[in-house]
Structure 1
Amino acid sequence: MHDPASASRAPGNPVRDLPLPDLAGFAHRWLDADGVRLHAVEGGQPDGPAVVLLAGFPQTWWAWRKVMPKLAGRCRVIAIDLPGQGHSERPDISYDTHTVAGHVHAAVEALGVSTYWLVAHDIGAWVAFSLALKHRSQLRGLALLDAGIPGITLPDAIPTDPEQAWKTWHFAFHLVPDLPETLLAGREREYVGWFLKAKTLSSDTFDDAETEQYAASVAAEGGLRASLAYYRDAAESARKNHEALEQQRLTVPVLGISGSNGSIPDMAASIRPWADRATGIVVPDAGHFIPDEQPDAVAAALTAFITDDV
């Protein structure tokens, strides 16, 4: 991993005080994505089918580090930090998922990619669902991992049963103006660490260095504001999703990937009412952070999904 000084020397990097991790065989890129500078990490086969990976809260593109090399033998693999995430710019924009999807798609086009598979987890899946409605002609397939999508699979009411409430309590907390910032500033390490431990089947999935890395991304200038903005703009994301679904259904093939101990028991079933073709798998021995917990199973499922249509 680079030190912060090395990160500051990376051309175009808008988050200069955040260490920049490297992954063997992959290169860092910064792209002008319709006015927002986004960070992408690219490798694999230049002429292979393009696979774009999006991570969620509280992670960055690094969430895919164990999966990316397993796809690189046959695919062109591109992991993108969302606006406000990792080494992407943290702009003062709407973070509704249709707006963010436009920036992500612009980043993919800036890499010269015309058609691609989109794979996304958590908040990344929120963005991916909206992107699939907006740019369906350029998507070859959509894989969604353990995510309650605003207006689609996210419940309207937060459960109060303690056996369930710990999975979703933060949605309401993040919506409260100002209070999360007051309570979390300077405590990003403790907050991020809670998610990484509580939402994995094995609480030692993430080591201290990884926890520190993700916490540093949230703590970096604008990171906490942007992280909360995805939740604060979720109602607008839901409204735009429903508006789009009044005109069309999801027409691209959809793969739902659930963890045996995750948040959404059956991603495919939750998406099927809006999709023409949705299949699903449940990954054994996994909580919410499936790419970290069971990377081999995720890579195998994605490879089969892509190969079926190549």
Structure 2
Amino acid sequence: MTDAAHRARDQNPISGLPLHDLAGFTHRWVDADGIRLHAVDGGQPAGPAVVLLAGFPQTWWAWRKVMPGLARRFRVIALDLPGQGHSERPHDSYDTHTVAARVQAAVTALDVPEYWLVAHDIGAWVAFSLALTYEEHLHGVALLDAGIPGITLPDAIPTDPDRAWKTWHFAFHLVPDLPETLLAGRERDYVDWFLTVKALSPNTFHSAEIDHYAAAIAAEGGLRASLAYYRDTAESARKNHDALGRGHLTVPVLGISSSHGSIPDMAASISPWADNATGVVIPDAGHFIPDEQPGAVVDAVTAFIDRERGGVV
């Protein structure tokens, strides 16, 4: 085992969960308001920084196909959110403003004063709240296929079967204790349903990838933490409304939708609360856009950064 591997093993707070390596990237753990968050850091040290946040039921590994493409020009940092992957699983609040403060603390600890933020699903919940509070640290934000609590996430779950399958789990995850009772020991079956049904192609995810995400949720409080994001959506929504009462987003926002995702037009859904929102729709993809069309995600994010930087390379 290399010295770097020894250090990673010693720092890893979720020691029972195997680490996956990605060529050209390094595992790091940083203090974020008293908890350790896992970061995977690589690319161009002197380039613009791009921070990536994944959602449910995934980890930083969701970006593994996107990171090498971005790394050709940018410093790329994929973070595991609190309770996700190899980050610690705190027992306190998982509302998106509390989590955003921890993400910002982690990015600061990585010596990144300003950055571009790219986030999917629950990661996009956190990114929206982070942009409301820490806008001065952001060059721009790209949000992938997510309804935002209190903003675009509906209060009611549709009963039409053609739509209900996309959002039924929100209500289920809110029920105290029952999901844990039903899902403990069955995490792989549950994760497999999401990754198979919500991707456009049922063959998008290989068995080993499903194993990885299921193991992360099963490990050391991961299921409790995953559900906590949903259980704290009311608090996330309240804090989003409070922040928007003080002013809209002025940082550039890119909404990335997909042809078969959950939110048909991310830019339109965000534009009432953002002064500069543009959008792109990626074809031939379902909900898990970074896995399904990684090259298109790299192109969309790179074009967004180039446009907002005025063509500076």
* TM-score computed with the length of structure 1 as normaliser: 0.97
Q: Is the 8 A contact 1:41 1:80 kept in 2?
A: yes
Q: Does 1:20 align with 2:19?
A: yes
Residue 292 of structure 1: CA displacement?
0.2
Cross-structure match for 1:211: 210
Relative to structure 1, the CA distance from residue 47 to residue 124 in structure 2 (aligned partners, 3 Å threshold; closer, same or farther) is: same
8 Å contact 1:64–1:292 — kept in the other structure?
A: yes
Equivalence for 1:293: 292
**1:285 & 1:309 partners in 2: Cα distance?**
26
Residues 84 and 223 in structure 1, CA contact (< 8 A), matched pair in contact too: yes
In structure 2, the gaps of 5 or more residues are none
The 8 Å contact of residues 191 and 210 in structure 2, kept in 1 or not, is answered as yes
Cα distance in 2, alignment partners of residues 45 and 264 from structure 1: 33
The amino acid that maps onto 2:305 is I
Q: How does 1:274-289 map to 2 (within 5 A)?
A: 274-289=273-288
1:147-226 counterparts in 2 under 5 A?
A: 147-226=146-225
Q: 1:9 to 1:42 in 2, by over 3 A?
A: closer
Alignment partners' CA distance in 1, 2:6 and 2:298: 29
Shift of 1:309: 2.6
| Distance apart, 1:93 and its partner CA | 1.3
RMSD across aligned C-alpha pairs, in angstroms?
1.2
| Cα shift at 1:11 | 2.9
Q: What do residues 155-202 of structure 1 show as CA deviations (whole Å, max 9, x unaligned)?
A: 111000000000000000000000000000000000000000010000
After the TM superposition, list the runs of 4 or more consecutive aligned residues in structure 1 that deviate by more than 2 angstroms: 6-9
Aligned to 1:80: 79
1:243 aligns with 2:242: yes
Shift of residue 9, structure 1, vs aligned partner: 6.0
Give 1:41's aligned amino acid.
V
Over residues 115-172 of structure 1, what are the superposed CA-to-partner deviations in whole Å (9 max), with x where a residue is unaligned? 0000000000000000000000110000000001100110111000000000000000
* Match status 1:37 vs 2:36: yes
d(CA) in 2 for partners of 1:156, 1:256: 21
Check conservation: 2:258, 2:286, Cα contact below 8 A: yes
Q: Distance in 2 between matches of 1:119 and 1:88?
A: 19
Give the superposition deviation at 1:307: 1.4
Q: Residue 207 and residue 131 in structure 1: after superposition, are their counterparts in 2 closer, same or farther (change >3 A)?
A: same
> Does the CA contact (< 8 Å) of 2:8 and 2:27 recur in 1?
no
Give distance in 2, aligned partners of 1:138 and 1:229.
27
Provide the C-alpha distance between the structure 2 equivalents of 1:43 and 1:218, rounded to a whole number of angstroms. 25
Structure 2 counterpart of 1:172, which letter?
A: A
Match of 1:258 in 2: 257
Q: Aligned partners of 2:121, 2:77: CA distance in 1, in Å?
A: 18
Cα distance between partner residues in 2 of 1:201 and 1:34: 38
CA–CA distance in structure 1, aligned partners of residues 172 and 270 of structure 2: 26
TM superposition shift of 1:34: 1.1
Contact 1:7 1:19 in 2 (8 A): no
Structure 1 CA distance for aligned equivalents of residues 120 and 262 of structure 2: 12
- The amino acid across from 1:50 in the alignment is A
User: Do 1:259 and 1:283's aligned partners in 2 also have CA atoms closer than 8 Å?
Assistant: yes
Q: In the alignment, residue 279 of structure 1 is paired with which amino acid?
A: T
Task: Output the CA distance in 2 between the equivalents of 1:76 and 1:104.
Answer: 17
Q: Which residue of 1 aligns with 2:135?
A: 136
Q: Note closer, same or farther for the CA distance 1:9–1:275 as it changes in structure 2 (3 Å cut).
A: closer
Give the letter for the 2:31 counterpart.
Answer: D
Measure the CA separation in 1 of the matches of 2:120 and 2:101: 18
Percent same amino acid at aligned positions?
A: 76
Aligned position for 1:95: 94
Residue-pair matches, total? 306
Aligned residue identity for 1:257: I
Show structure 1 runs of 5+ residues with no match.
none
TM-score by length of 2: 0.96
- Are the counterparts in 1 of residues 252 and 308 from structure 2 also a CA contact under 8 Å? no
Query: How far apart, CA to CA, are the structure 2 residues paired with 1:11 and 1:50?
Result: 27
2:108 aligns with 109
SS at match of 1:237: helix
> 1:58 matched to which residue of 2?
57
- Equivalent residue for 1:270? 269
